[in-house]
A and B are shown apart, each in its own frame.
Chain A
Amino acid sequence: MQHSPRPAARKPPDWLGTGVVALILLALAVLGANIWLNMQGAGVTPGFGFLAQTAGFDLSESLIPYAAKDSYARAILAGLLNTVLLALAGLVMATVVGVLMGLVSVTPSPAGRMVALLYVELFRNLPKILVLLLFYVLAVRGLPPVREALSLGPFHLSNRSVYMPMILPDPAQLWLLLPLGAGALAAIFWARRARRIKWETGRETPVLPVALALLLGLPLAFALLAGVPLVPTLPTFERFDFAGGARLSVQFLVVLLTLGLYHGAQIAEVVRGGILAVPRGQVEAARALGLSPRHVTRFVVLPQVLRIVIPPMINQYVNLIKNTSVAIVVGYSDLMSVSGTIINQTFRPLEMMLITMALYLGLSLLASSAMNRLNAVLRARGARSAT
């Protein structure tokens, strides 16, 4: 028997909801009108045309060629790239420190647990700005001037920068992307094949060494055969400063250290929670089945820890990306400090903040969606191997 659809009940008009929406729209309209009036009063027309004008300020460091005569847009791009560099380095350092300290915090050794606890509590209860300012003062005062830089082989550390060897950039190096892509494809193919063999015959085939050899070997062979220039340069001291090689400012290092240690403490807590959440019975059952300690970790503990740990880890990574903006406090030329400088020069806070916030929002959305996809892949794989 089929029910005929009931006639929709006539809803009474929703005065409250409409009223609230109207009020919000009215408030936004008033704010917008005021912005327009204020900018007119200052003789500025809102718009993004100014981005093409000459910036006229220098950056302490940049990954792309940049000079004061370049446009504001290029300055923003240079700042964005500096932010990305800082974020990537910070992610690596925070993960290494966090996982290491998380593992130490669950060792049987009371001394190890004590040190891990001290580290985590200290960095969770101090503002990152305070840590950053303290590190900055210590670095600027404690490290030697350029003339007496601490040297370790080709690396030199002074209170201004760290200098290191680098390969001279050359446009021809872009060709290397070709063999790199081919290597990646081949590595993926090899991994699939290894899994199929394992599935059908149970035999193990080496995956990681082959993949690494493909990823590194193909571009290297290509460079040698095609004659792509890969010229290393070493930093050498000339009259006042080092020349050649690459340099990272002490500001960069200090922010990196702060972010790495600060988020390392948070990640250590996440890792500790993840490990403690695996029921003891799982380990005991695996041992009872005769798995070696290495295999217990690899096949029983680690997969479960990863599942628990990855979602809060994504959260931490996104927070770290946002927190790179504290670099403005010590004057590292990241996105935030570049846009602060531009605001001071042009009196265009509205446009600049829209651009800056959109870029940060994009970065954190990009990171979280990439990590969520990784998480989904890991989960799907876990579900498949469980059946």
Chain B
Amino acid sequence: MIPASPPPAQRRDLLRQWAGTPVTALVSAGSVALAIWLASALLDWALVSAVSPLRPMEACADAAGACWRFYLEKSRFMLFGTYPHAEHWRPALVSVLLLALSGAVGLRITGRLGGLGPRWLLALWGLVIPLAFALMGGGWAGLPPVDMSRWNGMPVLLILSVIAIALAFPLGVALAVLRHQTRWPVLRRAAVVYIEAMRGVPMVTVLFVGVFVLPLTLPPGTRISPVMATLIALVFFHAAYFAEDVRGGLQSLPASQTEAAASLGLSWGQSMRLVLLPQALLRSLPALVNSVIGAYKDTSLVVVLGIHDLTSTARMAFSEPGWGAFALEAYAFVGMWFLLSCAFLSWVGRDLHRQQSARSR
């Protein structure tokens, strides 16, 4: 046996990679220059010209870099906004609960956390969603009531993203089934019109309908808070996108599945519930995760309606007189949060994709 010899002329390969053609050389040089410039600017802002958190706020007045003390002073405000200070444990608990449950769902659909069955998850959602509203609102068991207009920051972002997505999902599945089936042509037509109309208009218009038109459709004299109206609008908006993902899964199933289910004597409802939907949902998971990432990121659009989610409280944090210099710090905080949370979601998506291509091979 002759051991494999190392690939020859490794140095020449390196040169060819970096500068094989003039264009490649140009791209390499430009990229390196850009990377060095970006890295040095970031390093300068975050460390070299930055002011240490141990020094007082006044030291930041004319610093060119980051003011780390800002985070000590303002993190709590950016997270919870104008929620009563003594009650901050409530939005914190709600945020942790919603994040933990979302994380559990993410891990569960990638096949980890096997002990947690779908029924358990469903039960947990049924428990956590009302609990989140009850904890935030208060007014029971000695918790002081807090008006929805003072729900700010992280919990609002999570309520409007996690809860909206969780509630939109079943509606989306129902719409997908309605659009896929052929038994009720009228319902099928209605589902098509609804889905296509929702996907043809910007999210801002749907949010405006939620906040300005939805209150008109309630019986005279009833009121609805903007947060609730936005939540309802988001549920109806995201459902149309989820429906298309699930329909993609349903369409990808071979017709023999329907026929086999029918020949076993299963009714339409049974074959949909026991045969078609489980497979379709599994197949549509990667697309669904993509839609979830989009929905989660777009939640920040609610700043248009004067609802104070995380992005909006960050803006408030540097809009107060005397704090105007710290816009970059405030937005960096929000940006880091989104980068981290989206990294988790992207990881879930990539993992699902890998599993799926391994299964089809």
Contact = CB atoms under 8 A, between A and B. Distances in A.
Contacts of A38: 215-218, 220
A365 interface: yes
A288 to B, nearest CB: 20
Given A17-B183, A360-B202, 6 more contacts: A104-B31, A109-B28, A125-B339, A138-B328, A326-B301, A353-B212
B217 A340 contact: no
Interface of B: 16-20, 23-25, 27-28, 30-32, 34-35, 183-184, 186-187, 190, 197, 200-205, 208-209, 212-213, 215-220, 297-301, 303-304, 311, 315, 327-328, 331, 334-335, 338-339, 342-343, 346
B220 A24 contact: no
Given A108-B24, A328-B204, A343-B208, A137 B331 contact: yes
Given A20-B187, A34-B218, A360 B205 contact: yes
Contacts of B209: 349, 353, 357
A84 B201 CA distance: 15
Contacts of B205: 325, 336, 353, 356-357, 360
Interface stretch (A73-81, A111-119, A204-212, A242-250): A111-119
22 contacts: A21-B184, A34-B216, A34-B218, A39-B216, A109-B18, A114-B35, A125-B339, A126-B297, A126-B335, A129-B300, A130-B335, A133-B303, A134-B331, A137-B327, A325-B203, A325-B205, A328-B204, A329-B303, A336-B205, A340-B208, A349-B209, A349-B213
A114 B298 CA distance: 27
A40 to B, nearest CB: 9
Nearest to B299: A127
B35 A111 contact: yes
A361 B201 contact: yes
B77 to A, nearest CB: 17
Contacts of A324: 202
Contacts of A290: none
A205 B335 CA distance: 54
B32 A108 contact: no
A125 B343 contact: yes
Contacts of A114: 31, 35
Interface in A298-352: 322-326, 328-329, 336, 339-340, 343, 349-350
A41 B221 CA distance: 10
B235 to A, nearest CB: 15
Nearest to A321: B202
Most buried by A among B16, B205, B299, B328: B205
Contacts of B28: 109-112
B342 A125 contact: yes
Contacts of B19: 109
Contacts of A133: 303, 311, 315, 331
A375 interface: no
B186 A21 contact: yes
B353 to A, nearest CB: 13
Pairs A-B, 6 closest by C-beta atoms: A349-B212, A125-B342, A111-B31, A325-B202, A112-B27, A17-B184
Contacts of B190: 24
A141 interface: yes
Contact of B220 (A41, A125, A350): A41
A35 interface: yes
Contact of B212 (A126, A137, A343): A343
Interface of A: 14, 17, 20-21, 24, 31, 34-35, 37-39, 41, 104, 107-112, 114-115, 122, 124-130, 133-134, 137-138, 141, 322-326, 328-329, 336, 339-340, 343, 349-350, 353, 356-357, 360-361, 364-365
Nearest to A113: B31
Contacts of B335: 126, 130, 134
Interface of A is mostly: helix
A130 B205 CA distance: 19
Contacts of A130: 300, 311, 331, 334-335, 338
B201 A109 contact: no
A323 B338 contact: no
A129 B213 contact: no
Nearest to B346: A125
B213 A109 contact: no
Contacts of A361: 197, 200-201
Contacts of B183: 14, 17
Most buried by A among B299, B300, B328: B300
A329 B28 CA distance: 37
Contacts of A24: 190
Nearest to B301: A129
Contacts of B346: 124-125
Contacts of A110: 17-18, 28
Nearest to B345: A125
Contacts of A325: 202-205
A126 B219 contact: no
B31 A349 contact: no
B27 A350 contact: no
B155 to A, nearest CB: 17
Nearest to B33: A111
A110 to B, nearest CB: 6
Contacts of A41: 220
B31 A109 contact: yes
Most buried by B among A14, A115, A323: A115
Given A14-B184, A34-B216, A111-B32, A326 B204 contact: yes
A387 B129 CA distance: 60
A122 B42 CA distance: 15
Contacts of A14: 183-184
A262 to B, nearest CB: 10
A353 B215 CA distance: 14
A52 to B, nearest CB: 22
A365 B200 contact: yes
B31 A112 contact: yes
Most buried by A among B183, B187, B200: B200
Contacts of B20: 108
B201 A322 contact: yes
A47 to B, nearest CB: 15
Nearest to A35: B216
A178 B109 CA distance: 61
Nearest to B17: A108
A336 B204 contact: yes
A127 B298 contact: yes
Contacts of B334: 130
Contacts of A108: 16-18, 20, 24
Contacts of A328: 204, 304
